[in-house]
Amino acid sequence: MAIQFPPPFSPSGTLAELTLTALREQNATFRGSGGVSEGNRSQGFRPAFYDMDTGRVHPSRFASGLEAPMHVLDGLPDDLVVSRLANGRVEAIKPGIVAGFVRHGQFFTRQQAAMATAPPEDSADRFSNPRDHHRLLSLWERFVEDRVVAADELRPVVGASWQRCHACRVNPERRHAPLVADEEALDRHRDRQADLREAAQPVLSRAGELLFEEDSLVLLADPEGLVLEVAGDHRARRQAETVNLMAGGLWSERDVGTNAIGTALTAAEPVQLYGAEHFCTGIKPYTCSADVIRDPHDGRVLGVIDLTGRTQNYRPHALDFAMSAARMIEANLMANYFQSRERVIEASRAAFRRWSGEGLLAFDRRGRLVKANTPAHEALRRLDADMALTPQTRVSALDRGASGAPQAPPAWLASQERQPLGEPGREVGTLVRLSAGS
């Protein structure tokens, strides 16, 4: 089973204050994960608050000014305080203050901290056993003929995938994966994944060096199973091209049956498959290990990294390699994400001063919300926009990095003024003025 995280806990676009009660509810929601202090303190996270209006991070402090080991409202600046209890303790602070954590100077929401600290799932069923190869070939033949295979005869990840392959009518005699139409079409797909490819480039480059003359490949694929990049031994690459295990190959389960790329994407977890565990005949000479790559912003699956070699050259630690590579790519994505946030905070500073009475939203180039001032809450309410004002909000229509036809904006956004943030030709995001709703 893939690790599940609680949804981001934040108010919708309505005017909502952060209260002591809300903090207790958030702690209950994230208890047992890195979304609370006791679950992430050992990894360097400190409780803090993010001000959506300014982009400023406030460490959690007691009224005395000393840093607190949990979320405390008392040490926040007076201009953020809405109400106090009879004993003077802060009861509520203004809308747009998000509870989370700070590490290395960067703010994480509770969900982002939970994702960043989640331990790897320990599963004995995750690894293939080469000694099962001939037995699995017999099981596969029986499954293809009459689908009579007992649940305990296959690893769960393999059995579930074979059933999906049958349901999708995948041809078990398939000899290779399909390819995208042409080089131009592949370039368009690659352009759409520019951020993923940039984050993966140093990892692929190093992996290619390590795999020189090792009869193995490392591949990067997008969320649809389309291979974007390949690195590794040249002879292995030529052999793999006979089954279209190459840039442009489509390796989803529906395209080529059970395989580490497609099955990892479907299961959203690390997968290793040995020879006969593959569903299609042409893929059985290979052993592959893959893990998904998640967006550090909101946890969605961005792609997959895969290590593949010939079955006779089985390497038991290949899955560890793939999992480590995925974590390194995610670390690069996280660094890029935080850099883009800082650029938006700086580029929008003057606009937030100039139009302080209007509802303003500032997004980065990928449509991720960075800032939202206090009037934006009321403006969104009037526009009937059910949108959380949190650093984990994304509006796909404002993704300036996507190629192809832009997505239609949501109804609330269609009539609002939008301006690029940053210098011409070097835009870092989008400013949305919600004056029509104020």
Kindly write down the DSSP assignment for every residue of 288-341, as one continuous string: EEEEEEE-TTT--EEEEEEEEEEGGG--TTHHHHHHHHHHHHHHHHHHHHHHHH
Is 348-437 the same fold as 124-335?
yes
Residue 272 has pLDDT above 70, yes or no: yes
Helix (DSSP H) and strand (DSSP E) numbers for the chain: 14, 17
pLDDT of residue 406: 67
Average pLDDT, integer, range 275-296? 94
- Average pLDDT for the chain: 90
Average pLDDT, integer, range 315-319? 81
CB-based contacts of 145, cutoff 8 Å, min separation 6: none
Alpha carbon 264 to its chain centroid, in Å, reads 14
Strands 227-232 and 271-274: unpaired
> In whole angstroms, what is the distance from residue 410 CA to residue 397 CA?
8
> In whole angstroms, what is the distance from residue 274 CA to residue 133 CA?
8
Here the tokens at position 173 are 């005699």
pLDDT of residue 405: 58
Cβ-based neighbour number of residue 61 at 10 Å: 18
Average pLDDT, integer, range 224-244? 92
Phi then psi for residue 129, to 5 deg, are: -125, 110
Domain boundaries of the chain, sorted by first residue: 18-117, 124-335, 348-437
pLDDT of residue 315: 73
Here the tokens at position 322 are 């793939």
pLDDT of residue 13: 40
> In whole angstroms, what is the distance from residue 168 CA to residue 87 CA?
65
Here the tokens at position 55 are 């982009």
> In whole angstroms, what is the distance from residue 195 CA to residue 292 CA?
15
Here the tokens at position 66 are 């000393």
CB-neighbour burial class of residue 378 (10 A; exposed 0-12, middle 13-18, buried 19+): middle
Average pLDDT, integer, range 231-251? 92
User: Do 97 and 81 meet the contact criterion of CB atoms below 8 Å apart?
Assistant: no
User: For 56-106, what is each residue's pLDDT tens digit?
Assistant: 999 999 999 999 999 999 999 999 999 999 999 999 999 999 999 999 999
User: For 28-58, what is each residue's pLDDT tens digit?
Assistant: 999 999 999 999 999 999 999 999 999 999 9
pLDDT of residue 229: 96
pLDDT of residue 126: 73
What percentage of the chain carries pLDDT values higher than 90? 75
What length is written for the chain? 438
pLDDT of residue 213: 62
Q: What is the DSSP letter of 421?
A: E
Q: Which of 87, 84, 85, 101 is nearest to 26 (CA)?
A: 101
14-23, 200-209, 216-225, 344-353: least confidently modelled range: 14-23
Q: Looking at the domain that runs over 348-437, which CATH code has it been given? A: 3.30.450
Residue 137 has pLDDT above 80, yes or no: yes
Most confident listed range (130-139, 175-184, 338-347): 338-347
Phi then psi for residue 390, to 5 deg, are: -145, 155
pLDDT of residue 124: 56
> In whole angstroms, what is the distance from residue 383 CA to residue 433 CA?
13
Most confident listed range (9-13, 235-239, 398-402, 434-438): 235-239
Question: Would you identify the CATH topology of the domain 124-335?
Answer: Beta-Lactamase (3.30.450)
